[in-house]
Amino acid sequence: MYAIITFICGLLFGLGLAFSEMTNPAVVLGFLDVFGNWNPSLIIVMASAIAVGMIGYLIKGKRLAPFVASKWQVPTLRQIDSKLIIGSALFGIGWGISGYCPGPGLTALVNNPSEGIYFVIALIVGSAAHHFQTRAVKM
């Protein structure tokens, strides 16, 4: 049941990305271009995502466990540290340069493979660099 619900949630998420045009880097870059030719259409997408998140937290407050898992998986860290700031900055810079974040970036392998392959390679290289860097710090 967990796999089926996970698949359905992923499918809904992907359809939402496609329907909202979050998979189109021109739309995303237009939204991020606040001082130029700004396209505010993604505000509706953000508001919808916030509403869904709020509903999720309301459900979490009323249930001891999710419907198909034994416990809630909610972040517990509350501190703002250099790792959070640097990671957020790198994510934002990458998103602003390419117009892709990881979910829509993977769809680019199908929608726009000539751009998507470069994004996915950069995503893999960045993830590997982070993995090896954090592993080296722990040693």
User: What is the token pair recorded at 46?
Assistant: 């953000």
Same domain, yes or no: 33 and 96: no
User: What is the token pair recorded at 106?
Assistant: 């993977």
Same domain, yes or no: 119 and 135: yes
Same domain, yes or no: 16 and 27: yes
Same domain, yes or no: 33 and 82: no
Domain with 107, as residue range(s), is 77-139
User: Among all chains, which residue has been given the structure tokens 């998986």?
Assistant: 73
**Residue range 3-26, pLDDT digits in tens:** 898 899 888 888 888 888 888 888
Same domain, yes or no: 87 and 52: no
Same domain, yes or no: 28 and 49: yes
Report how far apart, in Å, the C-alpha atoms of 42 and of each of 12, 33, 85, 115 are: 18, 12, 24, 22
**Among residues 19, 44, 74, which one ends one of the domains?**
74
- CB atoms under 10 Å from CB of 99, counted, come to 23
Same domain, yes or no: 68 and 122: no
Hey, what amino acid is at 79? Q
Same domain, yes or no: 9 and 54: yes
**Residue range 45-94, pLDDT digits in tens:** 889 989 999 998 999 999 999 888 888 988 888 899 988 898 899 888 98
Q: Over the range 111-130, which residues count as b (16 or more CB within 10 Å of their CB) and which as e?
A: eeeebbeebbeebeeeeeee
| 139 — pLDDT class (breaks 50, 70, 90) | low
Are 17 and 45 a contacting pair, CB within 8 Å? no
**Residue 120 contacts by C-beta under 8 Å, 6 or more apart in sequence?**
105, 106, 108, 109
User: What is the token pair recorded at 19?
Assistant: 């329907």
* Structural domain count, the chain: 2
Report how far apart, in Å, the C-alpha atoms of 51 and of each of 45, 47, 65, 75, 137 are: 10, 6, 21, 19, 38
Same domain, yes or no: 17 and 54: yes
pTM: 0.69
